[in-house]
Structure 1
Amino acid sequence: MGRRIALACLDFLDDEPEVHVAAAAEAGFDAVTLRVAGSREPVTGDLGRDPRRRGRTLAALRSTGLGVLDVEALRLSTRLSRAEVTAAIELAAECGAAHLLVVNTELAPAEAAGRLAAIVEEAAPAGVLPCLEPMVFTRCRTLAEAIAVAVPAGAGVLVDALHLYRSGGGVAEVAAAVATHGDALFPYLQLCDAPLAAPEGGMEALRAEALAARLLPGDGELDLTGLIAALPGRAVSVEAPTVTTRGMAPLDRARAAWSAVATLDRPQQTSTVKEAS
């Protein structure tokens, strides 16, 4: 694909992070994403809760030569503390991550922009760019809403294929946003696949799909090749926890993800279903 490819941590939160790193390296990835904050309940993959785990993970990164595309996640809310923000930025810098993923769970747009601007200012000396990810079941639901908050804050915007389509967006919206704001606003994207039709059951069903029932790239109906083309040269994070791979060993899950994203270089194997006009 001629771009940096990372294996996201969402499908590996029950594994030790150094296992995730080793699996990603052996499968052929260039980088990983790592959880450092924002877990709603304790998970094994959260580096922010155990200094010894951080040490083992940093050692695995050094030994494999893998990079870290982003660390996640700061959740904008009235409960987010300055200490949590500072700790996440410090861990991002320690891991060599270029980006810090941010989600707006509950703040109004103006308040979110102000809070995000403060995070951007604090992260800048560490060389870390906070990126806001829109999700339909959060307070920041669409790409347009994310841009309206991120641009005045000086942050980036993370486009996730599933969230983009579930919010009613698509490739044309991304291309228009790039034409208006420039592709620097979108430093990387998250790839998975899915049916075009959203699951029934409202927001809880959408949340459940996002957390554990995505499809590997090429197994669904989203226009992933079009999305990649709309953001040329951008790094890609494969974030695709699926029902079919859930019981696999970490290395097998990593290999399945790598094999799937590699098919995007082979048009005859890529879904031909495009976004609805």
Structure 2
Amino acid sequence: MPSFSLAALTALELSPPELVEVAAACGFEHVGFRLLAATPGGLAYPLMDDAKQLRETRSRLDATGIRVADLEVVAFRPETDVESLTAFLEAGRMLGAQHTLVAAYDPDLSRFSDRFARYCELAASFGLTADLEFMQWTHVPDLNTAVAIVERTSSAAAGILVDALHFDRSRGSLEHLHRISSSRLHYWQMCDGPAERPSTTEELIHAAREERMFPGEGGIDLVGLTKAMPPDITISIEIPTAELAKTMNAEARARRALHGAKAVIAAAGIIS
């Protein structure tokens, strides 16, 4: 049976301790934290640099029984030094995290592949996986590219992160997904979106980072995607809704998201 994680981006206004409390109140089993910003200057909570908040977060996790599914965002750029990520990974080990999300912002895919392989080995030494997320505006824009890079990596920590929105927008193939070894699929991200795909990169980015839809309320084939994924891995519910957040608090949004996700997996024939 799958378990559910409240992704950081669903309620990025909450600090990690606050996010744990909301996850517990809503019935999630896991939570995800954004320790590194997705973009320069973006919002993040660098617990590796804040010992007090790291201890508080660990305390909330212990008190609620919530576990950490993943940490974000390891954004590889041309200047990224793999060793500089050691403190981030150490924080992950202290939090009991399982996975780390990787994004490719390096146009030199050969260089990125080499660094990704080194990062996988480093992450594994801390008990964490390294999961490459494909996004159309990055240099790993689709499932095919992600698979090619991960398959070059011998480390068992190397994985492919399937995000429902990016899978749909990049016209991913369910048939191809079925052929990927389950050992490379550690967790995946669920959300929904309009059936009509954005026509520009700017619209793609805006929708992905700020305005997604709750599972079952859009036009993405989430039932088909759910059936194609391993049934027993964590589903991270990642649904930023910047406009709705002006009038609906984080707990209410998280509850709505989880309710929709459970309805999707039930429709797929999986009972949670």
Provide the TM-score with structure 1 as the length reference: 0.89
Q: Which residue of 1 aligns with 2:147?
A: 147
- In 1, Cα distance between equivalents of 2:251 and 2:196: 31
Q: Determine which of 189, 208, 211 is the counterpart of 1:210.
A: 208
AA aligned to 2:41 is: E
Q: Which residue of 2 aligns with 1:163?
A: 166
- In 2, Cα distance between equivalents of 1:250 and 1:48: 25
Q: Which residue of 1 aligns with 2:21?
A: 22
What is the number of residues matched between the two proteins?
262
- In 1, Cα distance between equivalents of 2:81 and 2:99: 19
Give 3-state SS (helix, strand or coil) of 1:145's partner: helix
Q: Which residue of 2 aligns with 1:123?
A: 123
Q: Which residue of 1 aligns with 2:256?
A: 256
Gaps of 5+ in 1: 269-277
Q: Which residue of 2 aligns with 1:112?
A: 112
1:157 offset after TM fit, Å?
0.5
* Percent identity for Structure 1 against Structure 2: 31
Give 3-state SS (helix, strand or coil) of 1:236's partner: strand
Asked whether the 8 Å contact 1:76–1:107 carries over to 2, the reply is no
Asked whether the 8 Å contact 1:35–1:73 carries over to 2, the reply is yes
- In 1, Cα distance between equivalents of 2:242 and 2:235: 22
1:4 offset after TM fit, Å?
1.4
1:68 offset after TM fit, Å?
0.8
1:83 offset after TM fit, Å?
4.7
AA aligned to 1:56 is: E
- In 2, Cα distance between equivalents of 1:4 and 1:236: 6
Query: 131-140 or 108-117, which moves further after superposition?
Result: 108-117
1:196 offset after TM fit, Å?
2.3
Structure 1 residues 14 and 258: CA distance shift in structure 2, 3 A: same
Give deviations 1:219-241, integer Å, cap 9, x for gaps.
11111121111112221000011
RMSD: 1.8
- In 2, Cα distance between equivalents of 1:144 and 1:210: 20
Provide the TM-score with structure 2 as the length reference: 0.90
Structure 1 residues 46 and 261: CA distance shift in structure 2, 3 A: farther
Asked whether the 8 Å contact 2:34–2:44 carries over to 1, the reply is no
Alignment of 1:1-277 (within 5 A): 2-39=1-38, 40-43=40-43, 45-153=45-153, 154=155, 155-176=158-179, 178=180, 182-200=181-199, 202-231=200-229, 232-243=231-242, 245-247=244-246, 248-267=248-267
Structure 1 residues 107 and 52: CA distance shift in structure 2, 3 A: farther
- In 1, Cα distance between equivalents of 2:189 and 2:18: 21
1:48 offset after TM fit, Å?
4.1
- In 1, Cα distance between equivalents of 2:114 and 2:82: 14
Query: 151-160 or 240-249, which moves further after superposition?
Result: 240-249
- In 2, Cα distance between equivalents of 1:10 and 1:190: 11
- In 2, Cα distance between equivalents of 1:43 and 1:55: 20
Asked whether the 8 Å contact 1:102–1:130 carries over to 2, the reply is yes
- In 2, Cα distance between equivalents of 1:156 and 1:190: 13
AA aligned to 2:192 is: D
Gaps of 5+ in 2: none
1:243 offset after TM fit, Å?
4.7
Give deviations 1:127-172, integer Å, cap 9, x for gaps.
1111100000101100110111112123111000000111121423
AA aligned to 2:166 is: H
- In 2, Cα distance between equivalents of 1:29 and 1:249: 17
Query: 28-37 or 118-127, which moves further after superposition?
Result: 118-127
1:44 offset after TM fit, Å?
5.6
AA aligned to 1:158 is: L
- In 1, Cα distance between equivalents of 2:165 and 2:264: 16
1:192 offset after TM fit, Å?
0.3
- In 1, Cα distance between equivalents of 2:255 and 2:14: 16
